[in-house]
Structure 1
Amino acid sequence: MSAMTRRALLTTTAGAAAGVAVAGCGASDGSHSGAAPSARRTGEHSGASGARAPSTTVRLIGDGSTADTGPQPGQPVVDRLEPGQTPPQFVVFSWDGAGEIGNGLFPRFRKLADDHGAKMTFNLSGLYLLPESRKLQYAPPNSPLGASDIGYLADDHIRMTLDNLRQAWTAGHEIATHFNGHFCAGAGSVGRWTPADWKSEIDQAVAFVTQWKTNTGWHDDEPLPFDYAKTLVGGRTPCLLGQDNLLPTAAALGWRYDTSNPGGNQTWPDKMQGLWNFPLQLIPFPGHTFEVLSMDYNMLANQSHAATKSDPRNYPYWRSQATASYIAGFQRAYETNRAPFYIGNHFEDWNGGIYMDAVEGAFQHIASLGYKDVRLVSFQQLSDWLDAQDPAMLARLRELEVGQQPVGGWKRFTGQVPASDATGAAPAAGAAAPVPSAT
């Protein structure tokens, strides 16, 4: 079955008058001891690849599918922007679905990130750890038992996914959620779900991750090295639908952020119902007067009208166009208001894999610039930094519109915010001091 027939296409628009601005979701094919890194500021380039924390005691949780192995390795010390300072440029690369089906995309981008000391967010679909033989354990809201618009992974692909999740978390990346069945249309669409429906979906997503040994029978395999019930603090809904009813449930569960808004601008984030709102953003789209959402599927939707296999003669231009679009979004933020920049992706080979190449090309370009004030982080790490800031400073940053430079320069602009002791969540007492960065 083809990739597009296994997912519902989306109808979400994002304010671009002329462009197709929809968000698709990645479904994977369902057929078949070293020294800890030194302290550094949130997302600051470390030069390390795959650095591991010292060995620690492993406390198995439940049936042993997950374990408490202590603090996550590779997490930087949170710093605080002071009056007169220039804010860092945060960039978040995130992945929806986050399953590995033998095409090497999960390890490809883990290695890319680790080679540059970067962190990413992997939004795991809970069904990717549930064997199809046990699919009737999934009770999606408003749909039959076991229903799924992304199918189920073969057993060997579940093992590959587990292995990549272990390595990703140990390297410091975030494991968030993309929920389960990915319903985008009809009576079962996530856009119709109530807060109670979202609670059921989240509970099931957590259960599939924390009970995969029971569901697979692989009791001798290594656990996932994290307590998912505690470390899960955010995610992205299928098709960017249903955020309004998700937020009350997410807030009640203690989540810290959500990335399900169907389109936003490149401005500094604010909170919605107590959670940081990190929407995909409208960014320049070379060759067009309209802008496009910062997600690989939206590039595809505008270039090939959602066809995943098109005329290969178009691929070189489309690849370079998508790469240039991501780079343009980064440059606009870096050279003006320094708003955090978010990019959404899927582990897919749409149109010959050109969007994977485009994402890697943009990442390589940003990393090659060598800017010490650029931080490639996860959404959780960005939330950590925002929570540690003076609310007055964040309010000042939110005054800047898309592409607007601070009047009089950054020293004057942030210098007009009086120093304050007020923070949302300051670093823990006794934490190592952040490493100074070059100016």
Structure 2
Amino acid sequence: MSFPRRSARSHEGVPMRAFTAEERPPQFVLFSFDGGRQDARWKTFLDAAADSDAKFTVFQSAINLIETANRENYTAPGNEPGYVGTEFGGDEAEVAQRIENINTAHAAGHEIGTHYAGHLCAPTRYGADQWSTAEWEQEYGSFTDILSDPGAYNPGSSLPALEVTPDDVKGGRLPCLDGEWDQLVPMWKDNGLEYDTSRAAAASGVAWPYQEDGIWEFEMPMTWSPVLAEKDAASPFVMAMDYNFWISGNGGKDIPEDVSRLTDFQYRTYRYMYDSAFAGNRAPLVFGNHFNDWGLNAFNPAVEKVMREVCVEEDTYCVTYQQMIAWLELQDPEVLAAWRDQARSATGTDAEALSW
């Protein structure tokens, strides 16, 4: 499938104007995917987005653009060459296909953000939770170097040109959500990054994003789940991310008889989040996912179904983070503050009224 070329900041179809305090804002939805590795996932969501007039964001792991045979061409801060917390890119054909997928998404107006490079988290000997600003500069420098010229990290391979540049990248999500804010902010600003979407929400439910130290923060929400409420009323909350549904759903196991139950778990929870926010505070919804096969591919069908359903709903816009920020920056700060002061959505208090 071919797509017309659009920018991740394209405002086509989005109501780009300031809203008054008396108006209901639109319902924005931010579909995002960490990693960007699996070819099948790229195709699934490119097709779903095209059919539902949606835009999404992929937080690309730079090591997915390095062939596994060339792993020692990347070194994470404080670690040995080639030591990472997730997979490299596979063989030459896989990396070439991934570059083509990124180019196709970029041309269609989807956003490519950063998932940094080596995916080194707290359980590792020297993970991102311990890195200084200088080490984050090294890590983000690796990301931008790889993005600028994947061929340099894969000598002898014949790879297509990558059309996304570091200037196109304006924010990202930290691997495992690990990193110290005070060490990250100087690096973000030094590299022209405008937003982060890594913090676990300070309270349960869905709230409007905010700026801190000049950085837009889109927190990862802790949402009430109708599925968890039915199972255990004392513990009905889960982070809105596929990995957390997997861990909460069956402890992170690949069990064939659990697949439909896990799909239903994520689907019903995401649908409740949308219905609650749409009827409530209209806070932008952060749906954080991965390109993965977890739970024997239990979660991608749920995300695809939600995308196809909610993105065509009235007064709903499925956008990139860059589109979202462009809209937020048009709004009167006092109106934004009033929206932030509203009661959070997706806390379960409205479940009965919403027939959940």
TM-score norm. by structure 1 comes to 0.72
Which residue of the other structure, out of 385, 409, 426, is the alignment partner of 2:327?
A: 385
Determine whether 1:293 maps to 2:243. no
CA distance in 1, matches of 2:269, 2:102: 29
CA contact (8 A) 2:33 2:288 kept: yes
Q: Does 1:249 align with 2:187?
A: yes
Match of 2:301 in 1: 357
Q: For residues 157-193 of structure 1, give each alpha carbon's deviation from its aligned partner in whole angstroms, at most 9, with x where no partner exists.
A: 1111101000000000000010111112133111111
Letter of the 2:57 counterpart: T
Tell me what 1:318 maps to: 262
Task: After TM superposition, give the deviation of residue 364 of structure 1 in Å.
Answer: 2.2
**Which of 358, 369, 375 is the equivalent residue of 2:317?**
375
Runs of 5+ in structure 2 lacking a partner? 347-356
Is the Cα contact below 8 Å between 1:73 and 1:171 reproduced in 2? no
CA distance in 1, matches of 2:180, 2:206: 19
Distance 1:119 1:136 in 2: 35
| Counterpart amino acid of residue 68 in structure 2 | E
Residue 201 (str. 1) matches residue 201 (str. 2): no
1:99 aligns with 2:43: no
Give 1:153's aligned residue. Answer: 89
The answer as to 2:224 corresponding to 1:284 is yes
Describe the superposition over 1:276-305 as per-residue Cα deviations: whole angstroms up to 9, x where unpaired.
101111112123232111100010010111
- Residue 299 of structure 1 aligns with an amino acid whose one-letter code is F
Who is 1:435 aligned against?
none
- Work out the CA distance in 2 between the residues paired with 1:160 and 1:282: 35
Of residues 329-338 and 257-266 in structure 1, the stretch that sits farther from structure 2 once superposed is 257-266
Contact 2:8 2:322 in 1 (8 A): no
Quote the Cα distance in structure 2 between the aligned partners of 1:183 and 1:278.
22
Identity, % of aligned positions: 28
Q: CA deviation at 1:223?
A: 2.2
For residue 287 of structure 2, what is the aligned residue in structure 1?
A: 343
Hey, what's the Cα distance between the residues in 1 that align with 2:342 and 2:110?
30
Deviations 1:201-243 (A, max 9, x none): 00100101111123334786542223x2211110000101114
TM-superposed CA distance for 1:137, in Å, is 2.4
Partner of 2:17 in structure 1?
79
For residue 389 of structure 1, give the secondary structure of its aligned residue in structure 2: coil
Aligned counterpart, 2:103: 166
Q: Which moved more, 1:200-209 or 1:151-160?
A: 151-160
Letter matched to residue 352 of structure 1: L
Partner residue of 1:51?
A: 4
1:260–1:279 contact (8 Å) kept in structure 2: yes
Tell me the distance in 2 between the aligned counterparts of 1:366 and 1:218: 45
In terms of fraction of residues, the more helix-rich structure is 2
Who is 1:89 aligned against?
A: 27
Q: CA deviation at 1:83?
A: 4.0
Name the CA distance, whole Å, in 1 between partners of 2:112 and 2:53. 17
Q: For 1:26-41, list aligned pairs within 5 A.
A: none
The offset of 1:143, in angstroms, is 1.2
Residue 275 in 1 paired to residue 211 in 2?
Answer: no
Query: 1:150 & 1:222 partners in 2: Cα distance?
Result: 24
Letter in 1 for 2:5: R
Distance between the aligned counterparts of 2:175 and 2:326, measured in 1?
Answer: 25
Segments of 5+ residues of structure 1 without an aligned counterpart are 1-48, 54-70, 405-439
Matches of residues 109-148 of structure 1 in structure 2 within 5 Å? 109-148=45-84
TM-aligned CA deviation for residue 253 of structure 1: 2.0
1:402 to 1:73, Cα distance in 2 relative to 1, 3 A: closer
**What amino acid maps onto 2:239 in structure 1?**
L
Instruction: Answer yes or no: is the 8 Å Cα contact 2:147–2:166 preserved in 1.
Output: no
- Measured in 1, the distance between the counterparts of 2:242 and 2:342 equals 27
Within 2, Cα distance between the matches of 1:133 and 1:314? 35
Structure 2 distance, partners of 1:73, 1:329, is 25
1:87-134 per-position Cα deviation (integer Å, ceiling 9, x unaligned): 01110000000123x4x1111101111221111010000111122333
Task: Report the alpha carbon displacement of residue 356 of structure 1 after superposing the two structures with TM.
Answer: 0.6
| Partner secondary structure for residue 288 of structure 2 | strand
Larger mean CA deviation between 210-219 and 193-202 belongs to 210-219
In the other structure, the counterpart of 1:234 is 171
The reply to whether residue 175 of structure 1 matches residue 115 of structure 2 is no
Instruction: Check whether the contact 2:199–2:219 (CA below 8 A) recurs between aligned residues.
Output: yes
Q: Quick check: 2:249–2:265 contact (8 Å CA) kept in 1? A: no
Normalising by the residue count of structure 2, what TM-score does the alignment of the two structures yield?
0.88
Output the CA distance in 2 between the equivalents of 1:135 and 1:74: 36
1:341 aligned partner, one-letter code: L
Q: Tell me how far 1:383 sits from its aligned partner.
A: 1.1
- Say which one has the larger Rg: 1
Tell me the equivalent position of 1:397.
339
Write the distance in 1 (CA, Å) between the matches of 2:272 and 2:8: 33
CA contact (8 A) 1:283 1:328 kept: no
Conservation of the 8 A alpha-carbon contact between 1:199 and 1:249: yes
Matched with 1:38 is none
Secondary structure of the 1:263 match is: strand
Question: Cα RMSD over matched residues?
Answer: 2.1
Change (3 A) 1:72 1:235: closer
**Structure 2 letter corresponding to 1:249:** M
Q: Does structure 1 residue 366 correspond to structure 2 residue 319?
A: no
Partner SS, residue 287 of structure 2 = strand
Work out whether residues 149 and 182 of structure 1, in 8 Å CA contact, stay in contact via their aligned partners in 2.
Answer: yes
